[in-house]
Structure 1
Protein backbone atom coordinates (compact mmCIF):
# COMPACT_ATOMS: atom_id res chain seq x y z
CA UNK A 1 0.00 0.00 0.00
CA UNK A 2 2.93 2.34 0.57
CA UNK A 3 3.90 1.91 -3.08
CA UNK A 4 0.44 3.08 -4.13
CA UNK A 5 0.67 6.13 -1.86
CA UNK A 6 3.97 7.06 -3.52
CA UNK A 7 2.46 6.59 -6.99
CA UNK A 8 -0.56 8.76 -6.12
CA UNK A 9 1.74 11.51 -4.81
CA UNK A 10 3.93 11.33 -7.91
CA UNK A 11 1.36 11.01 -10.70
CA UNK A 12 -1.72 12.66 -9.17
CA UNK A 13 -0.05 15.57 -7.38
CA UNK A 14 3.50 16.34 -8.54
CA UNK A 15 3.01 15.32 -12.19
CA UNK A 16 -0.80 15.29 -12.10
CA UNK A 17 -1.27 18.00 -14.73
CA UNK A 18 -0.05 16.93 -18.19
CA UNK A 19 -1.49 19.58 -20.47
CA UNK A 20 1.42 21.51 -22.00
CA UNK A 21 4.33 20.00 -23.92
CA UNK A 22 6.66 20.89 -21.05
CA UNK A 23 4.46 19.05 -18.52
CA UNK A 24 4.13 16.00 -20.77
CA UNK A 25 7.89 15.74 -21.31
CA UNK A 26 8.56 16.07 -17.56
CA UNK A 27 6.04 13.28 -16.88
CA UNK A 28 7.51 10.98 -19.53
CA UNK A 29 11.04 11.46 -18.20
CA UNK A 30 10.01 10.51 -14.67
CA UNK A 31 7.90 7.50 -15.64
CA UNK A 32 10.62 6.27 -18.05
CA UNK A 33 13.12 6.11 -15.20
CA UNK A 34 10.63 4.31 -12.98
CA UNK A 35 9.67 1.72 -15.60
CA UNK A 36 13.28 1.05 -16.61
CA UNK A 37 13.92 0.01 -13.00
CA UNK A 38 11.03 -2.45 -13.35
CA UNK A 39 12.57 -4.14 -16.39
CA UNK A 40 10.84 -2.28 -19.22
CA UNK A 41 12.44 -0.19 -21.95
CA UNK A 42 10.47 2.97 -22.72
CA UNK A 43 10.56 4.44 -26.22
CA UNK A 44 9.07 7.93 -26.47
CA UNK A 45 8.03 9.12 -29.92
CA UNK A 46 7.20 12.63 -31.10
CA UNK A 47 4.82 13.49 -33.90
CA UNK A 48 3.93 16.94 -35.22
CA UNK A 49 0.40 17.62 -36.36
CA UNK A 50 -0.15 20.60 -38.64
CA UNK A 51 -3.25 22.51 -37.60
CA UNK A 52 -5.55 24.66 -39.71
CA UNK A 53 -3.93 27.75 -38.19
CA UNK A 54 -0.63 26.77 -39.88
CA UNK A 55 1.05 26.01 -36.58
CA UNK A 56 2.18 22.62 -35.34
CA UNK A 57 1.03 20.70 -32.28
CA UNK A 58 3.41 18.20 -30.69
CA UNK A 59 2.17 14.79 -29.54
CA UNK A 60 4.24 12.36 -27.48
CA UNK A 61 3.59 8.62 -27.16
CA UNK A 62 5.39 6.31 -24.73
CA UNK A 63 5.84 2.71 -25.93
CA UNK A 64 6.71 0.44 -23.01
CA UNK A 65 8.25 -2.91 -23.92
CA UNK A 66 8.57 -4.59 -27.31
CA UNK A 67 5.26 -4.00 -29.09
CA UNK A 68 6.19 -6.17 -32.09
CA UNK A 69 6.91 -9.25 -29.95
CA UNK A 70 4.15 -8.75 -27.38
CA UNK A 71 0.92 -10.73 -27.58
CA UNK A 72 -1.07 -8.25 -25.55
CA UNK A 73 -0.78 -4.45 -25.44
CA UNK A 74 -2.42 -2.44 -22.66
CA UNK A 75 -3.12 1.21 -23.51
CA UNK A 76 -4.38 4.36 -21.87
CA UNK A 77 -4.11 8.09 -22.54
CA UNK A 78 -2.01 10.20 -20.18
CA UNK A 79 -2.73 13.79 -21.21
CA UNK A 80 -5.08 15.86 -19.08
CA UNK A 81 -8.01 17.99 -20.13
CA UNK A 82 -9.31 21.52 -19.78
CA UNK A 83 -11.37 22.46 -16.72
CA UNK A 84 -15.12 22.24 -17.31
CA UNK A 85 -15.97 23.15 -13.67
CA UNK A 86 -18.12 19.98 -13.31
CA UNK A 87 -20.77 21.51 -15.60
CA UNK A 88 -20.52 18.80 -18.26
CA UNK A 89 -20.83 15.03 -18.05
CA UNK A 90 -17.81 13.18 -19.38
CA UNK A 91 -17.94 9.57 -20.48
CA UNK A 92 -15.35 6.80 -20.66
CA UNK A 93 -13.93 5.89 -24.09
CA UNK A 94 -15.38 8.91 -25.87
CA UNK A 95 -13.42 11.82 -27.36
CA UNK A 96 -13.07 14.22 -24.45
CA UNK A 97 -12.77 17.48 -26.41
CA UNK A 98 -15.77 19.31 -27.80
CA UNK A 99 -16.63 22.94 -28.48
CA UNK A 100 -19.01 23.24 -25.53
CA UNK A 101 -16.32 22.06 -23.09
CA UNK A 102 -13.92 24.59 -24.61
CA UNK A 103 -16.35 27.50 -24.26
CA UNK A 104 -17.13 26.50 -20.66
CA UNK A 105 -13.41 26.44 -19.90
CA UNK A 106 -12.69 29.88 -21.36
CA UNK A 107 -15.84 31.47 -19.88
CA UNK A 108 -13.83 33.10 -17.02
CA UNK A 109 -11.46 34.63 -19.58
CA UNK A 110 -14.39 36.00 -21.60
CA UNK A 111 -15.81 37.44 -18.38
CA UNK A 112 -12.48 39.15 -17.61
CA UNK A 113 -12.39 40.52 -21.16
CA UNK A 114 -15.87 42.04 -20.74
CA UNK A 115 -14.93 43.54 -17.36
CA UNK A 116 -11.79 45.03 -18.92
CA UNK A 117 -13.81 46.63 -21.73
CA UNK A 118 -16.28 48.10 -19.25
CA UNK A 119 -13.52 49.52 -17.04
CA UNK A 120 -11.64 51.02 -19.97
CA UNK A 121 -14.69 52.53 -21.66
CA UNK A 122 -16.61 53.86 -18.64
CA UNK A 123 -13.83 54.52 -16.10
CA UNK A 124 -10.32 54.80 -17.50
CA UNK A 125 -10.91 56.56 -20.83
CA UNK A 126 -13.07 59.40 -19.42
CA UNK A 127 -10.44 60.08 -16.74
CA UNK A 128 -7.61 59.90 -19.29
CA UNK A 129 -9.34 62.55 -21.43
CA UNK A 130 -9.34 64.97 -18.48
CA UNK A 131 -6.25 63.97 -16.48
CA UNK A 132 -3.95 62.89 -19.31
CA UNK A 133 -2.45 59.58 -20.32
CA UNK A 134 0.22 59.61 -17.59
CA UNK A 135 -2.30 59.47 -14.77
CA UNK A 136 -3.53 56.78 -12.41
CA UNK A 137 -6.29 55.84 -14.86
CA UNK A 138 -3.88 55.76 -17.80
CA UNK A 139 -1.39 53.51 -16.03
CA UNK A 140 -4.21 51.29 -14.73
CA UNK A 141 -5.57 50.95 -18.27
CA UNK A 142 -2.18 49.86 -19.60
CA UNK A 143 -1.57 47.34 -16.81
CA UNK A 144 -5.05 45.80 -17.02
CA UNK A 145 -4.84 45.50 -20.81
CA UNK A 146 -1.37 43.92 -20.74
CA UNK A 147 -2.45 41.45 -18.03
CA UNK A 148 -5.57 40.59 -20.01
CA UNK A 149 -3.58 39.83 -23.18
CA UNK A 150 -1.17 37.71 -21.10
CA UNK A 151 -4.07 35.67 -19.67
CA UNK A 152 -5.69 35.27 -23.11
CA UNK A 153 -2.42 34.09 -24.65
CA UNK A 154 -1.63 31.70 -21.79
CA UNK A 155 -5.07 30.07 -21.75
CA UNK A 156 -6.04 30.33 -25.42
CA UNK A 157 -6.37 26.53 -25.55
CA UNK A 158 -8.53 26.49 -22.42
CA UNK A 159 -7.84 26.52 -18.70
CA UNK A 160 -6.10 23.22 -17.84
CA UNK A 161 -7.62 21.14 -15.08
CA UNK A 162 -5.34 20.89 -12.05
CA UNK A 163 -6.79 17.79 -10.36
CA UNK A 164 -6.87 14.58 -12.43
CA UNK A 165 -6.82 11.75 -9.90
CA UNK A 166 -9.38 9.41 -11.49
CA UNK A 167 -9.38 10.81 -15.04
CA UNK A 168 -6.90 9.53 -15.98
CA UNK A 169 -4.06 9.18 -13.47
CA UNK A 170 -5.83 6.18 -11.94
CA UNK A 171 -5.20 4.19 -15.15
CA UNK A 172 -1.51 5.15 -15.21
CA UNK A 173 -1.06 4.13 -11.58
CA UNK A 174 -2.87 0.83 -12.20
CA UNK A 175 -0.51 0.07 -15.09
CA UNK A 176 2.58 0.72 -12.96
CA UNK A 177 1.12 -1.32 -10.11
CA UNK A 178 0.43 -4.17 -12.56
CA UNK A 179 3.98 -4.05 -13.93
CA UNK A 180 5.24 -4.46 -10.36
CA UNK A 181 3.37 -7.79 -10.24
CA UNK A 182 4.45 -9.24 -13.61
CA UNK A 183 7.20 -11.84 -13.82
CA UNK A 184 9.85 -11.95 -16.58
CA UNK A 185 7.82 -14.24 -18.83
CA UNK A 186 4.75 -12.03 -18.58
CA UNK A 187 6.81 -8.93 -19.39
CA UNK A 188 7.88 -10.51 -22.69
CA UNK A 189 4.25 -11.10 -23.65
CA UNK A 190 2.71 -7.85 -22.43
CA UNK A 191 3.59 -4.34 -23.60
CA UNK A 192 2.05 -0.99 -22.70
CA UNK A 193 1.31 2.29 -24.44
CA UNK A 194 0.69 5.68 -22.86
CA UNK A 195 -0.69 7.75 -25.70
CA UNK A 196 -1.18 11.46 -26.11
CA UNK A 197 -4.24 13.32 -27.36
CA UNK A 198 -6.88 11.36 -25.45
CA UNK A 199 -8.49 14.70 -24.64
CA UNK A 200 -7.86 16.41 -27.96
CA UNK A 201 -8.68 14.37 -31.04
CA UNK A 202 -7.11 10.97 -30.23
CA UNK A 203 -4.07 11.73 -32.37
CA UNK A 204 -1.81 9.61 -30.15
CA UNK A 205 -4.08 6.64 -30.84
CA UNK A 206 -3.61 7.19 -34.57
CA UNK A 207 0.15 7.18 -33.97
CA UNK A 208 -0.21 3.77 -32.30
CA UNK A 209 -2.20 2.40 -35.26
CA UNK A 210 0.62 3.34 -37.61
CA UNK A 211 3.39 2.08 -35.30
CA UNK A 212 3.92 -1.04 -37.44
CA UNK A 213 2.02 -3.37 -39.76
CA UNK A 214 1.81 -5.93 -36.94
CA UNK A 215 -0.51 -3.84 -34.77
CA UNK A 216 -3.71 -5.16 -36.36
CA UNK A 217 -2.75 -8.71 -35.36
CA UNK A 218 -2.29 -7.86 -31.66
CA UNK A 219 -4.69 -8.10 -28.76
CA UNK A 220 -5.35 -4.78 -27.02
CA UNK A 221 -6.79 -3.68 -23.71
CA UNK A 222 -7.81 -0.02 -23.42
CA UNK A 223 -8.40 1.32 -19.94
CA UNK A 224 -9.97 4.64 -19.02
CA UNK A 225 -10.44 6.16 -15.55
CA UNK A 226 -10.26 2.75 -13.92
CA UNK A 227 -10.52 4.24 -10.43
CA UNK A 228 -14.01 5.58 -11.20
CA UNK A 229 -15.89 2.98 -9.11
CA UNK A 230 -15.88 -0.33 -7.26
CA UNK A 231 -16.93 -2.57 -10.16
CA UNK A 232 -15.09 -3.06 -13.44
CA UNK A 233 -16.99 -2.81 -16.71
CA UNK A 234 -15.83 -4.70 -19.80
CA UNK A 235 -16.75 -3.73 -23.36
CA UNK A 236 -15.74 -4.81 -26.86
CA UNK A 237 -16.82 -3.98 -30.42
CA UNK A 238 -19.24 -6.17 -32.33
CA UNK A 239 -17.43 -8.94 -34.17
CA UNK A 240 -14.52 -9.15 -31.72
CA UNK A 241 -13.65 -12.75 -30.79
CA UNK A 242 -11.90 -11.85 -27.52
CA UNK A 243 -13.43 -13.44 -24.44
CA UNK A 244 -12.71 -13.28 -20.71
CA UNK A 245 -13.80 -16.31 -18.72
CA UNK A 246 -16.44 -15.50 -16.14
CA UNK A 247 -16.89 -11.88 -17.24
CA UNK A 248 -19.88 -10.21 -18.86
CA UNK A 249 -18.70 -8.11 -21.80
CA UNK A 250 -20.93 -5.35 -23.10
CA UNK A 251 -20.91 -3.89 -26.59
CA UNK A 252 -18.85 -0.75 -27.06
CA UNK A 253 -16.34 0.75 -29.43
CA UNK A 254 -13.63 3.37 -29.77
CA UNK A 255 -12.52 5.53 -32.67
CA UNK A 256 -9.77 3.16 -33.77
CA UNK A 257 -8.91 0.92 -36.71
CA UNK A 258 -7.51 -1.77 -34.39
CA UNK A 259 -9.86 -4.77 -34.59
CA UNK A 260 -9.05 -6.90 -31.51
CA UNK A 261 -9.57 -4.97 -28.31
CA UNK A 262 -11.38 -4.96 -25.00
CA UNK A 263 -12.19 -1.78 -23.08
CA UNK A 264 -12.07 -1.72 -19.29
CA UNK A 265 -13.28 1.00 -16.94
CA UNK A 266 -15.28 1.13 -13.72
CA UNK A 267 -18.44 2.75 -12.47
CA UNK A 268 -22.03 2.34 -13.64
CA UNK A 269 -23.64 2.10 -17.07
CA UNK A 270 -26.49 4.56 -17.62
CA UNK A 271 -29.65 4.04 -19.68
CA UNK A 272 -27.83 5.06 -22.86
CA UNK A 273 -25.10 2.47 -22.32
CA UNK A 274 -22.51 5.09 -21.33
CA UNK A 275 -20.24 5.21 -18.28
CA UNK A 276 -20.07 8.62 -16.61
CA UNK A 277 -16.66 9.54 -15.15
CA UNK A 278 -17.50 11.20 -11.86
CA UNK A 279 -16.12 14.74 -11.39
CA UNK A 280 -13.95 14.44 -14.50
CA UNK A 281 -12.21 17.63 -15.65
CA UNK A 282 -13.01 19.56 -12.50
CA UNK A 283 -11.33 20.44 -9.22
CA UNK A 284 -13.48 17.76 -7.54
CA UNK A 285 -11.45 14.98 -9.19
CA UNK A 286 -9.11 15.03 -6.20
CA UNK A 287 -9.42 11.62 -4.52
CA UNK A 288 -8.31 8.11 -5.46
CA UNK A 289 -8.93 4.99 -3.37
CA UNK A 290 -5.84 2.82 -2.91
CA UNK A 291 -8.05 -0.16 -2.12
CA UNK A 292 -9.96 0.19 -5.40
CA UNK A 293 -6.72 0.49 -7.40
CA UNK A 294 -5.30 -2.62 -5.72
CA UNK A 295 -8.50 -4.53 -6.41
CA UNK A 296 -8.66 -3.47 -10.07
CA UNK A 297 -4.96 -4.20 -10.57
CA UNK A 298 -5.51 -7.79 -9.52
CA UNK A 299 -8.53 -8.08 -11.82
CA UNK A 300 -6.52 -6.65 -14.73
CA UNK A 301 -3.75 -9.14 -13.98
CA UNK A 302 -6.28 -11.98 -14.23
CA UNK A 303 -7.54 -10.61 -17.55
CA UNK A 304 -3.98 -10.49 -18.90
CA UNK A 305 -3.49 -14.15 -17.99
CA UNK A 306 -6.69 -15.15 -19.77
CA UNK A 307 -5.62 -13.37 -22.97
CA UNK A 308 -2.07 -14.73 -23.25
CA UNK A 309 -1.00 -18.12 -24.62
CA UNK A 310 0.86 -19.14 -21.48
CA UNK A 311 -2.38 -19.17 -19.50
CA UNK A 312 -4.30 -20.84 -22.35
CA UNK A 313 -1.66 -23.59 -22.66
CA UNK A 314 -1.82 -24.29 -18.93
CA UNK A 315 -5.59 -24.67 -19.15
CA UNK A 316 -5.28 -27.12 -22.03
CA UNK A 317 -2.99 -29.34 -19.94
Structure 2
Protein backbone atom coordinates (compact mmCIF):
# COMPACT_ATOMS: atom_id res chain seq x y z
CA UNK A 1 0.00 0.00 0.00
CA UNK A 2 1.86 3.06 -1.30
CA UNK A 3 0.36 6.53 -1.10
CA UNK A 4 1.67 9.94 -2.14
CA UNK A 5 0.01 12.69 -0.11
CA UNK A 6 0.35 16.34 -1.12
CA UNK A 7 0.24 19.23 1.34
CA UNK A 8 0.94 22.97 1.19
CA UNK A 9 -0.10 22.93 -2.46
CA UNK A 10 0.58 26.17 -4.34
CA UNK A 11 0.09 27.25 -7.94
CA UNK A 12 3.38 25.87 -9.25
CA UNK A 13 4.42 23.36 -6.61
CA UNK A 14 3.37 21.11 -3.78
CA UNK A 15 5.14 19.18 -1.06
CA UNK A 16 4.69 15.41 -0.99
CA UNK A 17 5.06 12.67 1.60
CA UNK A 18 5.28 9.07 0.44
CA UNK A 19 3.70 6.50 2.77
CA UNK A 20 4.15 2.73 2.62
CA UNK A 21 1.78 0.70 4.76
CA UNK A 22 -1.19 1.68 6.87
CA UNK A 23 -0.04 4.96 8.43
CA UNK A 24 -3.26 5.54 10.36
CA UNK A 25 -3.24 2.15 12.14
CA UNK A 26 0.51 1.63 12.50
CA UNK A 27 2.04 1.17 15.95
CA UNK A 28 5.45 2.24 14.64
CA UNK A 29 6.49 4.37 11.67
CA UNK A 30 10.10 4.52 10.50
CA UNK A 31 10.82 7.48 8.26
CA UNK A 32 13.45 9.69 6.71
CA UNK A 33 13.46 12.83 4.59
CA UNK A 34 14.26 12.88 0.88
CA UNK A 35 14.63 16.57 0.00
CA UNK A 36 18.07 17.94 -0.89
CA UNK A 37 19.93 20.26 1.50
CA UNK A 38 21.29 23.55 0.20
CA UNK A 39 24.98 24.37 0.35
CA UNK A 40 26.21 25.92 3.56
CA UNK A 41 29.35 26.59 5.56
CA UNK A 42 30.37 24.61 8.60
CA UNK A 43 29.19 21.29 10.04
CA UNK A 44 25.67 19.88 10.03
CA UNK A 45 24.43 20.45 13.57
CA UNK A 46 21.57 18.11 14.47
CA UNK A 47 18.41 19.59 16.03
CA UNK A 48 19.63 23.20 15.66
CA UNK A 49 17.57 24.79 12.90
CA UNK A 50 18.87 28.26 13.68
CA UNK A 51 22.49 27.18 13.23
CA UNK A 52 21.61 25.53 9.91
CA UNK A 53 19.80 28.63 8.67
CA UNK A 54 22.65 30.89 9.79
CA UNK A 55 25.31 28.79 8.05
CA UNK A 56 23.24 28.66 4.86
CA UNK A 57 22.64 32.41 4.93
CA UNK A 58 26.36 33.14 5.39
CA UNK A 59 27.15 30.90 2.42
CA UNK A 60 24.53 32.60 0.23
CA UNK A 61 25.68 36.10 1.17
CA UNK A 62 29.38 35.40 0.66
CA UNK A 63 28.75 33.61 -2.66
CA UNK A 64 26.51 36.44 -3.90
CA UNK A 65 29.05 39.12 -2.90
CA UNK A 66 31.82 37.21 -4.67
CA UNK A 67 29.71 36.98 -7.83
CA UNK A 68 28.91 40.70 -7.70
CA UNK A 69 32.62 41.50 -7.33
CA UNK A 70 33.49 39.25 -10.29
CA UNK A 71 30.72 40.86 -12.34
CA UNK A 72 32.07 44.34 -11.54
CA UNK A 73 35.61 43.25 -12.45
CA UNK A 74 34.38 41.72 -15.73
CA UNK A 75 32.53 44.93 -16.58
CA UNK A 76 35.64 47.07 -16.01
CA UNK A 77 37.72 44.70 -18.10
CA UNK A 78 35.19 44.85 -20.93
CA UNK A 79 34.94 48.64 -20.86
CA UNK A 80 38.73 48.92 -21.08
CA UNK A 81 38.92 46.57 -24.06
CA UNK A 82 36.35 48.17 -26.37
CA UNK A 83 35.74 51.70 -27.61
CA UNK A 84 32.06 51.15 -28.43
CA UNK A 85 30.27 48.84 -25.95
CA UNK A 86 27.32 48.43 -28.33
CA UNK A 87 29.29 47.33 -31.38
CA UNK A 88 27.58 44.05 -32.23
CA UNK A 89 30.19 43.27 -34.89
CA UNK A 90 32.77 42.89 -32.15
CA UNK A 91 33.47 39.51 -30.61
CA UNK A 92 34.02 41.24 -27.26
CA UNK A 93 30.41 42.45 -27.27
CA UNK A 94 29.02 38.95 -27.77
CA UNK A 95 31.42 37.57 -25.18
CA UNK A 96 30.26 40.24 -22.73
CA UNK A 97 26.58 39.42 -23.40
CA UNK A 98 27.23 35.74 -22.72
CA UNK A 99 29.18 36.63 -19.60
CA UNK A 100 26.43 38.87 -18.22
CA UNK A 101 23.82 36.22 -18.99
CA UNK A 102 25.83 33.63 -17.07
CA UNK A 103 26.41 36.10 -14.24
CA UNK A 104 22.71 36.82 -13.70
CA UNK A 105 21.83 33.13 -13.98
CA UNK A 106 24.38 32.19 -11.31
CA UNK A 107 23.31 35.08 -9.10
CA UNK A 108 19.67 33.96 -9.27
CA UNK A 109 20.68 30.39 -8.39
CA UNK A 110 22.73 31.41 -5.37
CA UNK A 111 20.19 33.88 -4.00
CA UNK A 112 17.50 31.17 -4.08
CA UNK A 113 19.79 28.63 -2.43
CA UNK A 114 22.00 26.27 -4.38
CA UNK A 115 21.39 22.57 -3.81
CA UNK A 116 24.30 20.57 -2.48
CA UNK A 117 25.67 17.87 -4.78
CA UNK A 118 27.31 15.96 -1.94
CA UNK A 119 24.27 14.21 -0.45
CA UNK A 120 25.69 10.69 -0.12
CA UNK A 121 25.61 10.83 3.68
CA UNK A 122 22.86 13.41 4.10
CA UNK A 123 20.52 11.90 3.30
CA UNK A 124 20.90 9.25 0.59
CA UNK A 125 22.33 6.84 3.18
CA UNK A 126 19.16 6.98 5.30
CA UNK A 127 16.95 6.47 2.24
CA UNK A 128 18.92 3.32 1.41
CA UNK A 129 18.64 2.13 5.02
CA UNK A 130 14.88 2.68 4.98
CA UNK A 131 14.55 0.68 1.76
CA UNK A 132 16.53 -2.17 3.36
CA UNK A 133 14.26 -2.11 6.42
CA UNK A 134 11.22 -2.08 4.16
CA UNK A 135 12.47 -5.16 2.31
CA UNK A 136 13.14 -7.08 5.54
CA UNK A 137 10.02 -5.92 7.40
CA UNK A 138 7.88 -8.68 8.91
CA UNK A 139 5.74 -6.60 11.28
CA UNK A 140 2.20 -5.87 10.14
CA UNK A 141 1.79 -2.85 12.41
CA UNK A 142 4.91 -1.11 11.09
CA UNK A 143 4.74 1.48 8.31
CA UNK A 144 7.32 3.58 6.48
CA UNK A 145 7.43 7.14 5.22
CA UNK A 146 9.62 9.28 2.98
CA UNK A 147 8.94 12.84 4.04
CA UNK A 148 9.44 16.18 2.30
CA UNK A 149 10.87 19.34 3.87
CA UNK A 150 13.16 17.54 6.27
CA UNK A 151 16.34 19.53 5.70
CA UNK A 152 15.35 22.89 7.18
CA UNK A 153 11.88 22.40 8.58
CA UNK A 154 9.40 20.00 10.14
CA UNK A 155 6.34 20.47 7.94
CA UNK A 156 6.59 17.00 6.40
CA UNK A 157 7.13 15.43 9.81
CA UNK A 158 4.19 17.35 11.28
CA UNK A 159 1.97 16.18 8.42
CA UNK A 160 2.99 12.59 9.15
CA UNK A 161 2.25 13.08 12.86
CA UNK A 162 -1.17 14.49 12.02
CA UNK A 163 -2.16 11.30 10.19
CA UNK A 164 -0.60 8.83 12.62
CA UNK A 165 -2.41 7.75 15.78
CA UNK A 166 -1.43 9.41 19.06
CA UNK A 167 0.03 6.17 20.39
CA UNK A 168 2.10 5.51 17.28
CA UNK A 169 5.86 5.54 17.76
CA UNK A 170 7.69 7.55 15.08
CA UNK A 171 11.40 7.02 14.41
CA UNK A 172 13.33 9.21 11.97
CA UNK A 173 16.66 8.14 10.44
CA UNK A 174 19.17 10.84 9.57
CA UNK A 175 22.61 10.59 7.95
CA UNK A 176 23.18 7.09 9.25
CA UNK A 177 25.82 6.15 6.65
CA UNK A 178 28.73 8.21 8.00
CA UNK A 179 31.73 6.82 9.88
CA UNK A 180 30.53 8.54 13.06
CA UNK A 181 28.92 6.49 15.88
CA UNK A 182 25.19 5.77 15.94
CA UNK A 183 22.94 7.47 18.48
CA UNK A 184 19.35 6.61 19.42
CA UNK A 185 17.51 9.64 20.77
CA UNK A 186 14.13 9.20 22.42
CA UNK A 187 12.37 6.29 24.11
CA UNK A 188 11.14 2.77 23.40
CA UNK A 189 14.41 1.34 22.06
CA UNK A 190 15.50 -2.13 23.14
CA UNK A 191 18.38 -1.68 25.58
CA UNK A 192 19.68 -5.14 24.72
CA UNK A 193 19.80 -4.38 20.98
CA UNK A 194 21.37 -0.98 21.62
CA UNK A 195 24.09 -2.62 23.70
CA UNK A 196 24.67 -5.44 21.21
CA UNK A 197 25.12 -2.96 18.36
CA UNK A 198 27.11 -0.32 20.26
CA UNK A 199 24.43 2.33 19.72
CA UNK A 200 24.50 5.08 22.31
CA UNK A 201 21.17 6.06 23.88
CA UNK A 202 20.15 9.60 24.76
CA UNK A 203 16.82 9.17 26.51
CA UNK A 204 14.44 12.04 25.82
CA UNK A 205 10.67 12.09 26.13
CA UNK A 206 9.31 13.37 22.80
CA UNK A 207 6.88 12.40 20.05
CA UNK A 208 9.54 11.76 17.40
CA UNK A 209 12.51 9.50 18.11
CA UNK A 210 15.73 9.64 16.11
CA UNK A 211 18.52 7.34 15.02
CA UNK A 212 21.49 9.27 13.65
CA UNK A 213 25.21 8.90 13.10
CA UNK A 214 27.04 11.83 14.65
CA UNK A 215 30.13 13.07 16.42
CA UNK A 216 29.64 14.57 19.86
CA UNK A 217 31.55 17.78 20.55
CA UNK A 218 31.40 20.51 23.14
CA UNK A 219 29.96 23.79 21.83
CA UNK A 220 29.93 26.65 24.32
CA UNK A 221 30.27 24.09 27.09
CA UNK A 222 27.30 22.04 25.88
CA UNK A 223 27.47 18.61 24.19
CA UNK A 224 26.44 18.93 20.55
CA UNK A 225 25.75 16.23 17.97
CA UNK A 226 27.06 17.11 14.52
CA UNK A 227 28.72 15.91 11.35
CA UNK A 228 31.81 17.73 10.13
CA UNK A 229 32.30 18.66 6.48
CA UNK A 230 34.75 15.78 6.15
CA UNK A 231 32.19 13.33 7.51
CA UNK A 232 29.43 14.73 5.29
CA UNK A 233 31.60 14.43 2.18
CA UNK A 234 32.52 10.77 2.63
CA UNK A 235 32.54 8.85 -0.63
CA UNK A 236 31.86 5.45 0.92
CA UNK A 237 29.02 4.37 3.16
CA UNK A 238 29.64 2.81 6.55
CA UNK A 239 28.27 -0.69 6.00
CA UNK A 240 28.52 -1.52 9.72
CA UNK A 241 25.98 1.19 10.52
CA UNK A 242 23.55 -0.36 8.05
CA UNK A 243 23.89 -3.75 9.73
CA UNK A 244 23.30 -2.16 13.13
CA UNK A 245 20.16 -0.36 11.91
CA UNK A 246 18.75 -3.61 10.53
CA UNK A 247 19.50 -5.43 13.79
CA UNK A 248 17.98 -2.63 15.89
CA UNK A 249 14.59 -2.90 14.18
CA UNK A 250 14.41 -6.68 13.75
TM-score by length of 2: 0.81
Distance 1:124 1:217, change over 3 A: same
Question: Within the alignment, does 1:216 sit opposite 2:166 as a pair?
Answer: yes
Deviation at 1:195, TM superposition (A): 0.9
Distance 1:146 1:109, change over 3 A: same
Whole-angstrom distance in 2 between the partners of 1:229 and 1:127: 53
User: Which structure: greater strand fraction?
Assistant: 2
Distance 1:102 1:42, change over 3 A: farther
Determine the structure 2 residue equivalent to 1:116.
Answer: 71
Whole-angstrom distance in 2 between the partners of 1:160 and 1:280: 18
Determine the structure 2 residue equivalent to 1:193.
Answer: 145
Do 2:45 and 2:52's aligned partners in 1 also have CA atoms closer than 8 Å? no
Distance 1:252 1:77, change over 3 A: farther
Determine the structure 2 residue equivalent to 1:207.
Answer: 159
Distance 1:232 1:123, change over 3 A: closer
Deviations 1:191-246 (A, max 9, x none): 111111111322212222333xx53221111221112346421222xxx6x35333
Deviations 1:65-96 (A, max 9, x none): 10111110112111121123xx4111234437
Deviations 1:271-308 (A, max 9, x none): 323221243796x242212233123221232xxxxxxx
Do 2:179 and 2:231's aligned partners in 1 also have CA atoms closer than 8 Å? no
Whole-angstrom distance in 1 between the partners of 2:16 and 2:231: 21
Structure 1 counterpart SS, 2:227: coil
Whole-angstrom distance in 2 between the partners of 1:269 and 1:281: 13
Determine the structure 1 residue equivalent to 2:202.
Answer: 250
Q: 2:122 aligns with which of 167, 175, 193?
A: 167
Superposed, 1:25-64 pairs within 5 Å as 41-48=1-8, 58-64=14-20
Unaligned residue ranges in structure 1 (runs of 5+): 1-40, 254-258, 302-317
Whole-angstrom distance in 2 between the partners of 1:99 and 1:152: 19
Distance 1:124 1:252, change over 3 A: farther
User: Which structure: greater helix fraction?
Assistant: 1
C-alpha RMSD of matched pairs (Å): 2.8
TM-score by length of 1: 0.66
Whole-angstrom distance in 2 between the partners of 1:101 and 1:128: 39
Do 2:37 and 2:115's aligned partners in 1 also have CA atoms closer than 8 Å? yes
Do 2:180 and 2:231's aligned partners in 1 also have CA atoms closer than 8 Å? no
Unaligned residue ranges in structure 2 (runs of 5+): 195-199
Distance 1:215 1:156, change over 3 A: farther
